[in-house]
């Protein structure tokens, strides 16, 4: 029986931490997203964090808040956050919320 993809996963690849999101990341996934983002921040061997969003259907405001906090906290630690693969829908939702990805 195939294993379902986790909605949020983290893995370091060299000096880059890869935070991968799948599906709808909303208030039901916010706790898992927050915890995984915290793990990415705690991984001091990752000089940068890449957030891969090509499989994301949508994000809600709680997810945008977590992304904003991730960027803020990474910057405070001298690290960067790169968003990759954001779909047009996600980009439009971010724009509507007054955010830039």
Q: Is 1 part of any domain?
A: no
Domain boundaries, position 48: 8-95
Q: How many structural domains does the chain have? A: 1
Q: Write phi, then psi, for 80 (nearest 5 degrees).
A: -110, 155
- 63 within some domain: yes
Contacts with 91 (C-beta within 8 Å, 6 or more apart), sequence order? 101
In a domain, 28, yes or no: yes
Please report whether residue 32 resides in a domain. Answer: yes
- Residue 3 CA to residue 12 CA, distance in Å, equals 22
In a domain, 100, yes or no: no
Reported pTM:
0.88
Where residue 49 sits, what CATH number does that domain have? Answer: 3.30.750.24
Q: Give the pLDDT confidence of 11-45 residue by residue, as tens digits.
A: 999 999 999 999 999 999 999 999 999 999 999 99
DSSP 15: T
47-101: pLDDT as tens digits: 999 999 999 999 999 999 999 999 999 999 999 999 999 999 899 988 888 888 7
Residue 3 lies in a domain: no
């Amino acid at each position: 029986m195939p294993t379902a993809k986790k909605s949020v996963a983290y893995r370091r690849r060299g000096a880059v931490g890869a935070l991968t999101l799948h599906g709808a990341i909303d208030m039901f996934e916010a706790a898992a997203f927050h915890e995984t983002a915290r793990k990415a921040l705690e991984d001091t061997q990752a000089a940068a964090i890449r957030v891969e969003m090509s499989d994301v259907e949508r994000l809600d405001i709680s997810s945008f808040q977590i992304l904003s906090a991730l960027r803020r906290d990474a910057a405070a630690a001298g690290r960067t956050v790169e968003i990759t693969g954001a779909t047009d829908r996600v980009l439009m939702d971010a724009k509507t919320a007054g955010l830039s990805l």
